[in-house]
Amino acid sequence: MKKIVCDLCGESDFVKLAGMFECQVCGAKYTIEEARGMFVEVPDEPSSDKSAQKEAPANEYEDETPVAVPKGPTIVRKVVVGKPAGQTHDSQAAKRIISQVKKPGEPAPAEAKPKSGQPAPVKKVVVMRPTSVKPQVAAAPKKVQPAPKQPDLTNTVGVGTAQMIENLFILSQNAYDSENYVDAENYANRVIELDATNSDAWIMKGNCAGKQTTPTNFRFKECINCWNTALQNAGEADFEDYQFTVRQNVIDTMVAYALRASSEFRRNPSDENFAKVKETVDIVDPIIRQANQTFGVDIVAYEDKLASNVSAVVTAVSKKGIQDFGKKAETQTDAAYAKFVATQDACINAWDYLMDIAKKHGTVTAILSNIVKMHEAIIRNCGHKVSGTKIKESVKCSMSEQNIRLEKIGQAKKKLDDKFVDIRKRDRVDQKLKNEAYWETHQEEKQKLMEERDRLDHEIFELENSKLKMAELNDLKKLESEAIRLQVLKDNPTLSNKERALHMDELTKVRKQIVTKKRELASRLNPIEDKIEKFKKKLYNIDKELNMNR
């Protein structure tokens, strides 16, 4: 008798659904052509004659001697290892018999050594062979009824179950990468049935729900719940990694949903079709704000990514409109020019809306550049018509329409300037909050810097006081004051030339004394001034460190 054997798990429990053979153990699906190549020979049910049966062993393990078989096709060996009486299975899936496929010439797998104090398990080996070769010994295997599923009291996953979970998750990931989100979600659900605390499966389920969301099947709340469950089950060591993944998935899922709403605008650019994108953005807005409260999703990052991605779609539509209009006058008819203007105006209005959403300098500047470029293109081009043997210009922008478009360009540039002011204000506020958050977690470092700053302030104050207490410095100040008084008398026009000359002689003597006194003080003042300058540089570096953007 022939049966289909699954390449993934080795079981032969199959159901045919929608022209596909689906394994009921691991969920793998095969086409009819693939299934035909998976048939293997299975021995008929052995006779129940007691004389042909081998006496059962004394222990509780099944035992059967393998039969020698001549060389032939692929040999399928089913290995069943008995378990001690009273041992509890981890789950129903752990009790399944896993088949192994062995080709001729391959070495037999190493036998597991039994632990000391325990009886060696006896393996039952059934060798599949061609029907023409009659086995010498045919022992009837015991039919073991599966025990009812036991509750997981230890909250652990058995080895067999863990392998099945890994296989199912690989299938789920492959289906997700192939954009088969229905199967990917089904595999994730089966992982959750086996292990309800598997964070990866919950994240995958949330991602699949988001990808399958439509206006009539709105599943974003389900996404939030799945991702939240994943974080609740994440270990402390992996929590930050899962949190980062969830935040990115929220943004990517919401942006992807908005992009799907722009499909109609791609086919037929118009204000009415772009209104669907606006409606989608309004619907998603409360969801993203809920995600901000639940997961800490960066709304600014979401809005800027949304504006950037939708703007890329609008830019592609605009470029296609330019290509359809062409570069030669023969193709630039009045009808083609009218269609070109309608397409570009729809794109301009879309960009104007996205400019309000964008939150970063680069995105806003790129959108403004597109708006200016398209207004100028409409003004610069025109329609053409055939006049005799020549093609002449026909429909074009009137002077009043050109003025309106130039005014719109000015309004867009004004919006850009206002946007930059808002962005700079937001960036300063955000940076201030980041700095405060940094020092909240680095209190000890901040305390050391503040103490060092106070010490330097005190040192500078003491050095300045030491300068003031120097007697030589007071004498120098007196000489400088005397020099100023003599300078005024020397320049007084009411005095005679002789009196002024006397004051000039006295001023010269005082200046010489000042130079001498400064030379005497230099050896004492310079080291103090150098210390003060050094301390001031340290103060500057400390202030820079305290106010540095984090």
**Which residue, chain included where needed, has tokens 């086409």?**
31
Asked whether residue 209 falls in the same domain as residue 303, the answer is yes
pLDDT at 43: 60
Three-class SS of residue 290? helix
Rounded percentage of the chain residues whose pLDDT exceeds 90: 33
The two three-digit tokens of residue 6, written as one number: 């699954």
The answer on pLDDT for 102 being more than 50 is: no
Residue 220, domain member (yes or no): yes
Average pLDDT over residues 272-292: 92
pLDDT confidence of residue 104: 40
**Which of 419, 439, 459 is where one domain is finished?**
439
pTM of the model: 0.53
Angle at 192 between CA 172 and CA 17, to 5 degrees: 55
pLDDT for 335-373, tens place per residue?
999 999 999 999 999 999 998 898 888 888 899 889 999
Q: Where are the alpha helices (DSSP H) in 263-389?
A: 263-267, 271-295, 299-325, 334-357, 361-380
Task: Compute CA distances 468 → 473, 513, 532, whole Å.
Answer: 7, 20, 14
**What is the CATH classification number for the domain harbouring 297?**
1.25.40.10
CA distance 302 to 88: 50
The two three-digit tokens of residue 393, written as one number: 């210009």
293 and 403 belong to one structural domain: yes
Which residue range(s) make up the domain with 186?
A: 160-439
Do residues 426 and 491 both lie within one domain? no
Task: State the Cα–Cα distance between residues 445 and 441, nearest whole angstrom.
Answer: 9
Q: Minimal CA–CA distance to 309: which of 280, 283, 286?
A: 280
- Assigned domain for 111 exists: no
CA 277, 291, 240, 439 torsion-angle sign: positive
More confident residue, 486 or 41: 486
Instruction: Please check whether residues 391 and 472 belong to one and the same domain.
Output: no
Query: In the prediction, which pLDDT does 446 show?
Result: 87
Rounded-to-integer distance, Cα 267 and Cα 278, Å: 17
Instruction: Give the type of residue at 417.
Output: D
Mean pLDDT over residues 87-109, rounded? Answer: 38
Q: With bands split at pLDDT 50, 70 and 90, how would you rate the model's confidence at 181?
A: very high
pLDDT of residue 394 exceeding 80: yes
Percent pLDDT > 70 in the chain is 75
Section 429-447 average pLDDT: 82
Residue 120 inside a domain? The answer is no
pLDDT at 193: 93
Distance CA 265, CA 276 (A): 9
Which pLDDT value is given to residue 44? Answer: 55
- The whole-number average pLDDT for the span 110-115 is 44
Would residue 477 count as lying in a domain? yes
Long-range contacts: 451-454, Cβ < 8 Å, 24+?
452/538, 452/542, 453/539, 453/542, 453/543
- Out of 371, 404, 439, pick the residue that ends a domain: 439
The more confident residue out of 198 and 123 is 198
- State how far the Cα of 258 lies from the Cα of 306, in Å rounded to an integer: 8
Whether 427 is in a domain gets the answer yes
Phi-psi region of 214 (alpha: psi -120 to 50; beta: other; left: phi over 0): beta
| pLDDT bracket for residue 76 (50, 70, 90) | very low
Domain contains 148: no
The tokens describing 526, both together, are: 């310079």
CB 3 within 8 A of CB 43: no
Q: What is the pLDDT of residue 106?
A: 43
Report the chain's mean pLDDT, rounded to a whole number: 77
Q: Which residues contact 198 (CB under 8 A, 6 or more apart)?
A: 165, 169, 191, 192, 233
Do 205 and 61 lie in one domain? The reply is no
Confidence (pLDDT) at 438: 84
Q: How much is the pLDDT for 38? A: 75
Place of tokens 């619907």: 283
Position 347, amino acid: C
- The pLDDT, as a whole number, for residue 490 is 85
Residue 322 and residue 417 in one domain: yes
Residues in contact with 176: Cβ distance below 8 Å, sequence separation at least 6, in sequence order:
184, 204, 207, 208
| Domain match, 180 and 278 both | yes
Query: Are residues 429 and 464 both part of a single domain?
Result: no
List the structure tokens of 458: 């005190």
Which two tokens mark 239? 């929590």
Domain count, the chain: 3
Check residue 158 and give its pLDDT: 55
Number of C-beta neighbours around residue 336 at 10 A: 16
Q: What is the pLDDT of residue 72?
A: 36
Q: Is the pLDDT of residue 255 over 50?
A: yes
Q: Which long-range contacts (CB under 8 A, 24 or more apart) does 152-160 make?
A: 152/90, 152/91, 155/197, 156/90, 157/90, 157/91, 157/194, 157/195, 158/89, 158/90, 158/91, 158/94, 159/94, 160/90, 160/93, 160/94, 160/95, 160/96, 160/98
Report pLDDT for 342. Answer: 94
| 303-328: average pLDDT | 93
Residue 486: inside a domain: yes
| 231 and 329 belong to one structural domain | yes
**Where are any strands of DSSP class E within 404-490?**
none
**Low-confidence winner among 31-35, 257-261, 304-308, 335-339 (lowest mean pLDDT):** 31-35
**Residue recorded with tokens 């391959």:** 106
Cα separation, 21 vs 32, whole angstroms: 7
**pLDDT for the residue 425:** 63
The confidence score (pLDDT) of residue 424 equals 64
Amino acid 79: pLDDT? 31
For the record, the structure tokens of 380 come out as: 């610069």
Q: Could you tell me the CA-to-CA distances from 169 to 14, 189, 227, 447 in Å, in that order?
A: 20, 10, 17, 50
100: three-class secondary structure by DSSP: strand
Q: Which of 29-43, 120-134, 176-190 has the lowest mean pLDDT?
A: 120-134
Residue 472 and residue 406 share a domain = no
- Which of 83, 95, 135 lies closest to 11 in space, CA to CA? 95
Say if residues 208 and 253 touch (Cβ distance below 8 Å). no
Mean pLDDT of 272-298: 91
Please compute the mean of the pLDDT values over residues 280-309 and round it to a whole number: 91
Residue 131 lies in a domain: no
H/E element, 416? helix 399-440
SS3 357: helix
In contact, 94 and 158? CB cutoff 8 Å? yes
Q: What is the predicted pLDDT for the residue at 204?
A: 94
pLDDT score, position 466? 83
pLDDT at 124 over 60: no
pLDDT at 232 over 50: yes
Beta bridge partners of 431: none
Q: Which of 416, 439, 462 is the last residue of a domain?
A: 439
pLDDT digits (tens, 9 = 90+) for 42-75: 665 444 444 444 444 444 333 443 434 333 333 3
Give the model confidence (pLDDT) of 487-500 as tens digits. 888 888 888 888 88
- Which residue, among 373, 368, 374, has the nearest Cα to 416 in the 3D structure? 368
427 shares a domain with 403: yes
What is the pLDDT averaged over residues 286-311?
A: 91
Residue 318 has a pLDDT of: 95
Can you read off the two tokens belonging to residue 288? 């993203």
Q: Are residues 511 and 472 in the same domain?
A: yes
